[in-house]
């Protein structure tokens, strides 16, 4: 049975774990050849091995998306290897420190913005020209539920993700008539290494934190990376051919409150 993305080429940044890894695996399951990028070499290479173990095609490129030259090299290698670029998930991101606005350090602010927002823009800056040459493509940018509402203690993260939503909407308008669809996915709390890091930093409060997260979720639980990946793949597929410029909340109902 043919996959939804047969013959397509997909690029995933932050593909070494969590939502990025699950999305890379979902792209491959649906027939796409996958380019996996991450600063985590071990994680990225493991994702490639997982794809290959299921009969898929993939390769890894070590990439820091906050560095323009590395992003340029990534996209050029993807196109040189597979001949085209049909789908891109610009997913690489960091959380940074939990500090309120007046306590957020300049270093923390700059690092988060550089990766989460500038990194998405740098990726789109390189992806879009190739998609224009081939007559179209689909881009999904990873935002957050905190790109739709604020979050106490996460000023830089929330600002970066709000920026991703705005950038997504702008690019969607600019390239709609050129056959390039640009959307954002806004996950709620998901069981990923980012959440695990928070819990490890406060082991005595881990259970309390988990329960607090669940209490804030109308659906009563955290999401799974695979659930976010399904939204990403759908947005990149022809099933979403009339969808562009949306910021899709995949968050168990969090932002509806």
**Does residue 176 form part of some domain?**
yes
Residue 140: pLDDT band by 50, 70, 90 thresholds? very high
Q: Which of 59, 157, 175, 234 is catalytic?
A: 157
Tens digit of pLDDT for each residue in 25-45?
A: 999 999 999 999 999 999 999
**Does residue 155 form part of some domain?**
yes
**Does residue 70 form part of some domain?**
yes
Do residues 197 and 101 share a domain? no
Do residues 33 and 126 share a domain? yes
Do residues 23 and 141 share a domain? yes
Do residues 34 and 143 share a domain? yes
What residues contact residue 200 under an 8 Å CB cut-off, 6+ apart?
206
Residue 193: pLDDT band by 50, 70, 90 thresholds? confident
**Does residue 256 form part of some domain?**
no
**Does residue 3 form part of some domain?**
no
Do residues 216 and 156 share a domain? no
CATH code at position 53: 3.40.50.720
Do residues 28 and 86 share a domain? yes
Residue 199: pLDDT band by 50, 70, 90 thresholds? low
Segments forming the whole domain that contains residue 30: 9-188+225-251
**Does residue 181 form part of some domain?**
yes
Residue 108 in this model has a pLDDT that exceeds 80: yes
Do residues 47 and 99 share a domain? yes
Residue 155 in this model has a pLDDT that exceeds 90: yes
Residue 208: the pLDDT is 76
Residue 2: the pLDDT is 72
Residue 118: pLDDT band by 50, 70, 90 thresholds? very high
Do residues 197 and 233 share a domain? no
Residue 190's DSSP bridge partners are 223
Higher pLDDT, 206 or 242: 242
Do residues 207 and 101 share a domain? no
Do residues 104 and 205 share a domain? no
**Does residue 4 form part of some domain?**
no
Residue 196 in this model has a pLDDT that exceeds 80: no
If DSSP codes are grouped into helix, strand and coil, which group holds residue 140?
strand
Provide the domain count of the chain: 2
Do residues 48 and 117 share a domain? yes
Would you call 157 a catalytic residue per the annotation?
A: yes
Contact criterion met (CB below 8 Å) for 14 and 185: no
What does pTM read for this prediction?
0.94
**Contacts of range 219-224, beta carbons closer than 8 Å, 24 or more positions apart:** 219/252, 219/253, 220/252, 221/252, 222/188, 222/189, 222/190, 222/191, 222/195, 222/252, 223/187, 223/188, 223/189, 223/190, 223/191, 223/250, 223/251, 223/252, 224/22, 224/190, 224/191
Tens digit of pLDDT for each residue in 210-251?
A: 787 888 899 999 899 999 999 999 999 999 999 999 999 999
Residue 133: the pLDDT is 97
**Does residue 1 form part of some domain?**
no
Tens digit of pLDDT for each residue in 165-189?
A: 999 999 999 999 999 999 999 999 9
């Amino acid at each position: 049975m043919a996959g939804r993305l047969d013959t397509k080429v997909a690029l995933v940044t932050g593909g070494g774990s969590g939502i990025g890894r699950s999305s890379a695996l979902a792209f491959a399951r649906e027939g796409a050849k996958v380019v996996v990028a991450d600063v985590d070499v071990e994680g990225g290479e493991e994702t490639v091995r997982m794809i290959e173990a299921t009969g898929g095609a993939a390769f890894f490129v070590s990439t820091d998306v906050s560095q323009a030259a590395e992003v340029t090299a990534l996209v050029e290698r993807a196109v040189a290897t597979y001949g085209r670029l049909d789908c891109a998930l610009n997913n690489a991101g960091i959380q940074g420190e939990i500090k309120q606005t007046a306590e957020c350090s300049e270093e923390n602010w700059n690092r988060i913005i550089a990766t989460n927002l500038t990194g998405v823009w740098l990726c789109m800056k390189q992806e879009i020209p190739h998609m224009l040459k081939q007559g179209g493509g689909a881009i999904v940018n990873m935002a957050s539920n905190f790109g739709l509402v604020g979050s106490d203690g996460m000023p830089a993260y929330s600002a970066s993700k709000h920026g991703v939503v705005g950038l997504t909407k702008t690019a969607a308008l600019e390239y709609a008539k050129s056959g390039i669809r640009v959307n954002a996915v806004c996950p709620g709390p998901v069981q990923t290494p980012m959440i695990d890091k928070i819990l490890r930093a406060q082991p005595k409060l881990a259970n309390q934190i988990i329960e607090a997260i669940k209490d804030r979720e109308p659906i009563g639980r955290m999401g799974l990376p695979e659930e976010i990946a399904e939204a990403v793949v759908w947005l990149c597929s022809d099933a979403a051919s009339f969808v562009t410029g949306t910021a899709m909340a995949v968050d168990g109902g969090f932002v509806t409150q």
